[in-house]
């Protein structure tokens, strides 16, 4: 193994002092964490940042659920309520889920393709360090005189243009997040395209690498579109243009088209890496190769393509021509086909395996079940005529939370438990991991399933108060919400225990059924890995080579 732990590293380092330091970690906090160009340390930074944002965005959700606990306004003014829903979504999407996936990409992609680091390490540092500034700025708007943004994360004008001067800071923060994401995406593409070890052909790459590669292209395609949209809002607000102002010859609906041209691929940006993680974990704990590897790659690519031509399914009530509505309905229904292929392949991967149910496996199974429920309600929403009833109700809130929370967030948890031993060198507490899983799974359903009933029964979304007939299910939902929020603290405990206190050392392989290059390096993964590229042969990856 000495060839891959890399004892004589030369990349980007001052060699004078580092020679006998086995790990070659820079000394001192600043050098190690602020000026770092190491993919593992940057990955850790991203993950810690994302977890912090998850709790900040989560507290806002707690405020929302507390106000909705019963009818009447008890806690906050409606305008502040709207700031909470808007900020909650912006923080969760751009601050928690997306950076968490970039963190996983940083840590795992070089390890999975046998590369010594990311292709562009300095840019990597920059793309991370933009984020704390972007989110500090975004959060600071809550303390400004004119308050934070309150028009929903979709920022529809003309309403968003009624935001006060803080709007400029919101737009600038979105620009910074966009720059960070684009740089991250370029780095990932460059790494995957150029730095794969010999023998790691494209169709041998682990699915997580594939899904991230496709995600990175989506990011590059749509983040500039979002940047353009918010820039037009900025000039409409402050410089007297009328892009979206009907009175000045503009078109407020145009904004929605542009936003959702970004927004629909964006939802796949959050979920494709999740598909990848699950496609790694299920084979490991089923001790059986991934079923239909090639089909999985092609399904991911078709989902990515289709995601560009379905955006107006978010706009069925906006008053489009009939032909347009039909087109977007058919295209949206079509997405269910490759999505179905994925679900069937995951089930077939488990079929006739030899399964064990460690925490990563539990979260992955939870994902397959609950994401499928979210996908099925998505199929319902695609039926445009009945969407005229569903749209902008709690039914939609339930749908997208099923795909995002037990969808994206559960796989983030699954991935974290799966690779934590590799990152830290220690095993986490399986017992507490399982407690975390069961509490999360029960509470997330109590939280979101009743929202389907509320929406169907006629409760609109984004309201701070409601008619008493909606009281029972809102109370359930809030109780589920508080329980889910508290359960996530267990995760923090498990991670801290694992990293700093756990006595149980992890082996290189960690999991009996694990395959892939990341399991060939020691645990914890040394600061530098694969400085001499490994030779990849068939059978080393988590899927059969015979597609």
Partner 1 sequence: MKKQNTFIVGLAVLVAVSVAFWLMLVAPMYTGNEINMTRGVSSLSREHYSLHMIILWVCAVIGILVFTAMFTSIVLHRKSKGHEPAQFSHSTKAEIVWTIIPVLILIAMAIPATSALVKMETPTGAEMTVKVTGFQWKWKYEYLEDEVGFVSTLAADSNAARQLGSGIDPTSVDNYLLAVDKPLVLPVGRKIKFLITADDVIHAWWVPAFGWKRDAVPGFINEAWVRIDEPGTYRGQCAELCGKDHGFMPIVVEAVEEDEYVAWVESQTVAHVAATEEAQRAWDFDELMDRGESVYASQCATCHQDDGQGLAPAFPALAGSTVATGPLEEHIRVVLEGREGTAMQAFGDLLTPSDIAAALTYTRNAFGNETGDVVQPSDIAGINKG
Which positions from 459 through 488 interact with partner 1, judged by CB under 8 A?
460, 462-469, 472-473
User: How far is C-alpha 180 from the geometric centre of its chain's CA atoms?
Assistant: 15
Among 6, 265, 407, 526, binds ligand HEM (CB under 6 A): 407
**547 annotated active-site:** no
Would you give the binding string for Cu ion spanning residues 261-300, x where CB under 5 A is met? ---x------------------------------------
* Number of Cβ within a 10 Å radius of residue 16: 6
With vertex at residue 509, the alpha carbon angle to CA 506 and CA 515, rounded to the nearest 5 degrees, is: 150
Would you give the binding string for Cu ion spanning residues 209-248, x where CB under 5 A is met? ----------------------------------------
Longest distance between any two alpha carbons in the chain, whole Å:
73
Looking at the Cβ atoms of 128 and 311, the one nearer to ligand HEM is 311
The answer to whether residue 88 forms part of the interface with Cu ion (CB under 5 A) is no
Q: List the single partner that 344 binds among Cu ion, ligand HEM, partner 1, none, CB under 5 to 8 Å by kind.
A: partner 1
Span near Cu ion by CB under 5 A; candidates 17-25, 258-266, 521-529, 533-541:
258-266
Which residue lies nearest ligand HEM, judged by its C-beta?
A: 378
The answer to whether residue 284 forms part of the interface with partner 1 (CB under 8 A) is no
Q: List the single partner that 356 binds among Cu ion, partner 1, ligand HEM, none, CB under 5 to 8 Å by kind.
A: partner 1
- Please list, residue by residue across 454-468, b when 16 or more beta carbons sit within 10 angstroms of its beta carbon and e when fewer do: bbeeebebeebebee
Which positions from 298 through 327 interact with ligand HEM, judged by CB under 6 A?
313-314
Catalytic entry in 117, 325, 358, 387: 117
294 CB-near residues (< 8 Å, 6+ apart): 203, 547
SS3 30: helix
What are the C-alpha distances in Å from 138 to residues 59, 126, 143, 144, 425? 16, 19, 10, 11, 36
> Contact at 8 Å (CB) between 336 and 290?
no
Whole-angstrom distance between the N-terminal and C-terminal Cα of the chain?
Answer: 30
Among 44, 377, 426, 443, binds partner 1 (CB under 8 A): 377
Tokens of 215: 């995600």
* Radius of gyration, alpha carbons of the chain: 23
Q: List the single partner that 182 binds among ligand HEM, Cu ion, partner 1, none, CB under 5 to 8 Å by kind.
A: none
Residue 270 beta carbon to partner 1: minimum distance, rounded to whole angstroms:
22
* Number of Cβ within a 10 Å radius of residue 520: 17
**88 annotated active-site:** yes
- Helices marked H in 68-165 — which ranges? 78-90, 98-113, 121-140
Among 217, 223, 230, which Cα is nearest to 153's?
230
Distance, CA of 230 to CA of 173 (rounded, Å): 10
Among 347, 486, 492, 496, binds partner 1 (CB under 8 A): 347
Span near Cu ion by CB under 5 A; candidates 197-205, 227-235, 259-267, 272-280:
259-267
229 CB-near residues (< 8 Å, 6+ apart): 155, 255, 258, 259, 262
With vertex at residue 125, the alpha carbon angle to CA 123 and CA 126, rounded to the nearest 5 degrees, is: 65
Catalytic entry in 24, 65, 288, 314: 314
Which residue lies nearest Cu ion, judged by its C-beta?
A: 264
DSSP letter at 200 equals -
Span near partner 1 by CB under 8 A; candidates 111-119, 217-225, 318-326, 397-405:
318-326
Tokens of 350: 């488990």
The answer to whether residue 143 forms part of the interface with partner 1 (CB under 8 A) is no
The answer to whether residue 404 forms part of the interface with ligand HEM (CB under 6 A) is yes
Catalytic entry in 39, 264, 515, 528: 264
Residue 46 beta carbon to partner 1: minimum distance, rounded to whole angstroms:
31
Q: List the single partner that 146 binds among ligand HEM, Cu ion, partner 1, none, CB under 5 to 8 Å by kind.
A: partner 1
Rounded (10°) angle between helices 207-238 and 166-194: 150
**180 annotated active-site:** yes
Active site residues: 88, 117, 153, 180-181, 264, 266, 268, 279, 313-314, 339, 342, 461
Task: Using CB under 6 A, list all residues that contact ligand HEM.
Answer: 154, 267, 270-271, 313-314, 332, 335-336, 339, 375, 378-379, 381-382, 387, 390-391, 396, 399-400, 403-404, 407-408
């Amino acid at each position: 193994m000495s060839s891959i732990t890399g004892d004589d590293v030369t990349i980007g380092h001052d060699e004078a002092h580092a020679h006998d330091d086995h790990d070659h970690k820079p000394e001192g906090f600043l050098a190690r964490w602020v000026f770092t160009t190491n993919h593992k340390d940057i990955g850790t930074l991203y993950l810690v940042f994302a977890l912090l944002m998850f709790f900040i965005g989560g507290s806002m959700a707690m405020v929302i659920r507390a106000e909705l606990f019963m009818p009447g306004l008890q806690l906050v003014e409606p305008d502040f309520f709207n700031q909470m829903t808007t900020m909650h979504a912006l923080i969760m999407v751009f601050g928690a889920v997306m950076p968490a996936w970039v963190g996983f990409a940083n840590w795992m992609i070089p390890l999975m393709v046998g590369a010594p680091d990311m292709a562009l390490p300095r840019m990597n540092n920059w793309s991370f360090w933009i984020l704390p500034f972007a989110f500090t700025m975004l959060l600071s708007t809550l303390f400004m005189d004119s308050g934070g943004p309150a028009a929903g994360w979709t920022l529809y004008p003309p309403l968003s243009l009624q935001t006060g001067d803080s709007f400029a800071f919101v737009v600038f923060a979105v620009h910074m997040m966009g720059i960070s994401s684009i740089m991250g995406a370029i780095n990932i593409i460059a790494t995957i395209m150029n730095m794969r070890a010999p023998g790691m052909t494209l169709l041998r790459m682990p699915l997580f690498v594939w899904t991230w590669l496709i995600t990175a292209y989506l990011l590059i395609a749509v983040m500039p579109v979002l940047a353009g949209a918010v820039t037009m809002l900025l000039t409409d607000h402050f410089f007297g243009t009328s892009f979206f102002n009907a009175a000045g010859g503009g078109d407020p609906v145009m904004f929605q088209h542009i936003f959702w041209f970004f927004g629909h691929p964006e939802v796949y940006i959050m979920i494709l890496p999740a598909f990848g993680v699950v496609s790694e974990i299920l084979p490991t704990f089923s001790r059986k190769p991934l079923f239909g590897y090639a089909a999985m790659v092609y399904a991911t690519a078709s989902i990515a393509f289709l995601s560009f031509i379905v955006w107006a399914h978010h706009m069925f009530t906006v008053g489009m021509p009939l032909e347009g509505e039909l087109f977007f309905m058919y295209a949206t229904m079509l997405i269910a086909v490759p999505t179905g292929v994925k679900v069937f392949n995951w089930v077939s991967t488990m079929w006739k395996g030899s399964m064990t149910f460690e925490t990563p496996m539990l979260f992955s199974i939870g994902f397959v079940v609950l994401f499928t429920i979210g996908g099925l309600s998505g199929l319902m929403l695609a039926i445009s005529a009945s969407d005229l009833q569903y749209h902008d109700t709690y039914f939609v809130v339930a749908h997208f939370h099923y795909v995002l929370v037990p969808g994206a967030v559960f796989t983030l948890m699954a991935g974290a438990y799966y690779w934590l031993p590799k990152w830290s060198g220690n095993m986490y507490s399986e017992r507490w991991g399982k407690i975390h899983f069961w509490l999360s799974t029960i509470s997330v359903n109590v939280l979101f399933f009743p929202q389907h009933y509320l929406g169907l029964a006629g409760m609109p979304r984004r309201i701070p108060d409601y008619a008493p007939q909606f009281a029972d299910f809102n109370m359930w939902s809030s109780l589920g919400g508080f329980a889910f929020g508290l359960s996530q603290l267990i995760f923090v405990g498990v991670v801290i225990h694992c990293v700093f206190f756990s006595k149980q050392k992890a082996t290189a392989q960690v999991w009996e059924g694990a395959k892939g290059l990341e399991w060939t390096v020691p645990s914890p993964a040394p600061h530098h890995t694969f400085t001499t590229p490994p030779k990849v042969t068939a059978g080393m990856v988590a899927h059969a080579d015979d597609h």
